[in-house]
Amino acid sequence: MIDIIIQNYEKTKREILVEYDKDSFFENWQENETWEVSFNVTKTDLNSTAFDLVDYESSVIFNGQEFVIKQMTTSAEGKAVSKSVTATHIYYTIQDGRQYNTVTGVRSIQQLLTHVFSAGNRGFSWEVIDPNSKFLTVEQENFGNANYLKLIEEILSDYDAVVIPDNKRLTFYPRAEYGEKVEEQIRYKYNTDSVKFDIDTYSLKTQIKGFGKKKEDGTYYFTPITYTSPESDKWGIRIQDPVEDERYTVVGNMTERLKIDLQDYPAISGSVTLKWRITPKKGDYVPFIYEPLNIRTYIQVVGLKTYPALPNKPPEITLSNTKKTMTSILANLAKKGVI
């Protein structure tokens, strides 16, 4: 039995929700995109107090994390009144803050986060975990004048970062340092029959050129550079669209950017539904074996949909090895009707 606690917007009342539809309850996390819980509940004599607390902007407390009800449908059939609820993690309320001031120049990820929250932390705190100094400094131009969520989205993209919220505590990791390799494999016909994957080589490239900032006299701070992947020995020279970014004035920073941007292996992304539970965590790299396509590789967990009230129902896992620009958080939330 899992506990779902409903708390009113004023945070003056809390009740455990009972007699909800356990088949409907799920938790869905997609890296840098969404984290939400959803469930259906019908009013009964036993849950009437908690049921009445289920309302827009009320909180759902699950597994120690706070989610805010942003979408709800109320329906009635005879005397039975039901609610269908989607609650988004408290992290996404960060969009309610705004930094009007802007900064320009070379900045570290720490400096940008300090700038974002200098307009008021709204109860949030943050830390950057970067033991191997993967985060580079990046030239910024007029960074600011947007809501906090939009600015954090820019940071995630510019610094190739991942943010993991723990309620209002935000931890930022370099993508290269995030997640662990686990040995609990996902294997076709072993623990999954349901595989939906997009595997292509259309975007496979082995060479890319980078253009940085120009001086006032029209010359570059550094000569445009070309990075060629070792994979070119196998695939030949396949040229990717160049990076043209005036934030870069240091050749080493541009080189690292080119290595990150170059998609020098086949793109694999998709989802699997397992036959039984395995326990990968967010960001873990799991062995994925799919004999029909001769795939044997580690692929990162970038999404988890679990059914905590149904202990025998396995999770749905989204996997990807694709280097790509972060999906727009705001666009995703807008599609969901959250903003």
294 vs 199, 234, 289, 297, CA distance in Å?
A: 12, 17, 8, 10
Q: What pLDDT is stored for residue 273 in this prediction?
A: 65
337 vs 135, 190, 331, 333, CA distance in Å?
A: 34, 39, 10, 6
211 alpha carbon, distance to own chain's centre: 29
Q: What pLDDT is stored for residue 229 in this prediction?
A: 94
Q: pLDDT tens digits, the chain, 339 residues: what are they?
A: 578 999 999 999 999 999 999 999 999 998 878 899 999 999 999 999 999 999 999 999 999 999 999 999 999 988 899 999 999 999 999 999 999 999 998 899 999 999 999 999 999 999 999 988 888 888 888 899 999 999 999 999 888 898 999 999 999 998 878 888 887 777 666 666 666 666 667 778 999 999 998 988 989 999 999 999 998 998 899 999 999 988 788 888 899 889 888 888 776 666 666 655 566 788 888 887 777 666 677 888 888 888 888 877 877 878 776 554 323 323 333 334 433
What is the rounded CA–CA span in Å between residue 302 and residue 244?
28
Residue identified by tokens 């060479």 is: 207
What is the rounded CA–CA span in Å between residue 237 and residue 233?
8
Q: What pLDDT is stored for residue 339 in this prediction?
A: 34
Q: What pLDDT is stored for residue 234 in this prediction?
A: 86
Looking at the domain covering 97-177, what would its CATH class be?
alpha beta
Q: How far apart are the two ends of the chain, measured CA to CA in Å? A: 33
Structure tokens, 227: 């990075």
Q: What pLDDT is stored for residue 193 in this prediction?
A: 60
Express each pLDDT in 115-171 by its tens digit: 999 999 999 999 999 988 888 888 888 899 999 999 999 999 888 898 999 999 999
Looking at the domain covering 5-91, what would its CATH class be?
mainly beta
Structure tokens, 307: 């059914």
What is the rounded CA–CA span in Å between residue 128 and residue 125?
11
Q: What is the CA radius of gyration of the chain?
A: 23
Long-range contacts of 220-226 (CB under 8 A, 24+ apart): 221/248, 221/249, 221/250, 222/249, 222/250, 222/251, 222/254, 223/251, 225/251, 225/254, 225/255, 225/258
* Backbone CA torsion sign across 324, 149, 135, 111: positive
214 vs 211, 226, 243, CA distance in Å?
A: 9, 17, 14
The stretches of the chain forming alpha helices (DSSP H) are 48-53, 109-117, 148-158, 232-235, 251-261, 329-335
**DSSP-assigned letters across all residues of 22-42:** EEEEEEEEETTTEEEEEEEEE
Q: What pLDDT is stored for residue 324 in this prediction?
A: 43
Q: What pLDDT is stored for residue 272 in this prediction?
A: 66
Nearest one of 260, 285, 40 to 156, comparing CA atoms: 260
Q: Where are the domains of the chain?
A: 5-91, 97-177, 186-201+266-320, 207-261
pTM: 0.74
